[in-house]
Amino acid sequence: MTDSPTERVAIVTGAARGIGAAIAKRLAADGMAVGVIDLAEDATAATVEAIRAAGGRALGIGADVTDGEQVQRAVQAVADGLGAPTVLVNNAGILRDNLIFKMTDEDWDRVVAVHLRGAFLMTREVQRYQVEAKWGRVVSLSSTSALGNRGQANYAAVKAGLQGFTKTIAIELGRYNITANAIAPGFIATDMLRQTAERMKVSFEQFLEGAAREIPVGRVGQPEDIANAASFFCSEASSFVSGQVLYVAGGPKA
């Protein structure tokens, strides 16, 4: 359970599956009520049901995080259904990988919109509840790809951008007892990486095995590894940690 005297309300975007679902369930286990947001409300059902089955409170909401009106409605729905949200995890993301000479305008624009515009719109909407409460946590999902990765000019750019966004939010909102941090996952076994394996024309199992050989700890990451880091950043214990980027990659990345 959280060490807060009152129940916190969290919002996790892109929480229907993978890393987002693991974070939502972990925050619920920590004692938070969780607004589970994904593009389609139906897709959030499994995450919501898992939280409720474990005795937690959760609400599933369908929203496109790139649409300002939908973001406003989603955050209001969480506030009405669970209480004022003071924890936000910006996890929603997509891949549109390609080499730069093959990358289309839409490939670029959509990735920028979901990752960067989505984080901006969600944070702007939630921060007003955080400022009023004089307490808040913002966690955004970056990536080791922020350091550069072949075929991911769009993804690398937005993940690096989220680090700058995080540091700026930490400066602007710190006076209100609001912290902002980013998590940069390395190779995490999720359905999103299945797309990468398919693009490389290898089986997912071969893809995982090859990646594990290159990781110092000898295994690929799991969504729960990222959820563990998010749990700390969203807790009372992290109150003097802000504007930081934590690489969760099984070894150093620089």
Does residue 155 have an active-site annotation?
Answer: yes
Amino acid letter, residue 222:
Q
Q: Are 27 and 56 in contact (CB under 8 A)?
A: no
Q: Are 36 and 111 in contact (CB under 8 A)?
A: no
CB proximity list for 21: less than 8 A, separation 6 or greater = 15, 46, 47, 50, 223
- Return the DSSP state at 85: -
Cα–Cα dist 11/3, whole Å: 19
Q: Assign 3-class secondary structure to 198-224.
A: HHCCCCHHHHHHHHHHHCCCCCCECHH
Q: What are phi and psi of 157, to 5 degrees?
A: -65, -45
- Selection from 78, 77, 18, 87 nearest residue 47 by Cα: 18
Locate 151 and state its tokens: 């075929």
Name the residues annotated as catalytic: 155
